[in-house]
Amino acid sequence: DTGVSQDPRHKITKRGQNVTFRCDPISEHNRLYWYRQTLGQGPEFLTYFQNEAQLEKSRLLSDRFSAERPKGSFSTLEIQRTEQGDSAMYLCASSLGRGGEGYTFGSGTRLTVV
Amino acid sequence: LAKTTQPISMDSYEGQEVNITCSHNNIATNDYITWYQQFPSQGPRFIIQGYKTKVTNEVASLFIPADRKSSTLSLPRVSLSDTAVYYCLVGDHNQGGKLIFGQGTELSVKP
């Protein structure tokens, strides 16, 4: 297992377009998290799943954002009708949901909305 | 979730020991203290976690006083590659809940 994988690494899109990002967590991890990070700020929590169930969504996650984890393995984050303010790094992390070994983050998807 | 306060930036030189202190006055009984490191264009990386007293691993040490209202991350003999942002987080991280990041401490190591 090579850790948490995110695809694509970079995405440039025009305002108003829809974009979808994919995250493949560590296979034995049952929890998966999405974060957004803008320049100079710490990551902001968006949502997380335990297996296929979405347990919590941040108020940051507007109606234009939707996340799924259909079979409890990989997850997708879709942004509809992108706005310039959506430009950020989107990070995915996974964990076992217990224990002190921490959460493993992917390298992120850098979204630029022009 | 407990709020954390840490310096926005710190400077150091290669070979020095660096101590980054984090305040978390309203830490709860079930809360753990966890530190992450982040390099530019990468996701945060787990460094160390502790509940009380002292924890040491191959990367760092974490000192937590008895009242647990603060903690200190100690990086021995830093090198240029330790230049990164370091985040202190407090929460019930052993239960797999969300992590709440602050602004972090930007550490710059100079030759």
Mean pLDDT, range A37-53, rounded to an integer: 94
Look at residue A1 and tell me whether its pLDDT is greater than 60. no
Residue A78 has pLDDT above 80, yes or no: yes
Task: Assign A96 a pLDDT band (cuts: 50, 70, 90).
Answer: confident
Q: What is the mean pLDDT of chain B?
A: 93
What's the mean per-residue pLDDT of chain A?
93
- Predicted pLDDT of residue A61: 84
B2 close to B90: Cβ distance less than 8 angstroms: yes
Q: Do A42 and B95 touch (CB under 8 A)?
A: no
Query: Could you tell me the sign of the dihedral formed by the alpha carbons of A19, A25, A27, A31, in that order?
Result: negative
Stretch A24-41: mean pLDDT, rounded?
94
**Chain B residues in contact with A108 (beta carbon < 8 A):** 41-43
pLDDT on residue B65? 96
Mean pLDDT of B11-18: 97
B59-73: average pLDDT: 96
CA distance B31 to chain A (A): 12
Q: Do A98 and B96 touch (CB under 8 A)?
A: yes
Q: Which homologous superfamily is B9-110 in?
A: Immunoglobulins (2.60.40.10)
Chain A residues touching B41 at Cβ < 8 A: 89, 107-108, 110
pLDDT value at position A97?
A: 74
pLDDT of residue A100: 60
Among partner residues A56, A89, A99, which is closest to B94 by beta-carbon distance? A99
Is the model's pLDDT at B4 over the cut of 80? yes
User: In this model, does residue B98 exceed pLDDT 90?
Assistant: no
Kind and range of the H or E run holding B71: strand B70-75
pLDDT at residue A99, as a whole number: 63
Domain residue ranges of chain B, discontinuous segments joined by +: 9-110
- Is pLDDT at B58 greater than 60 in this prediction? yes
Under 8 Å between Cβ of B105 and B6: yes
Whether residue B43 and residue A108 make contact (CB cut-off 8 A), yes or no, is yes
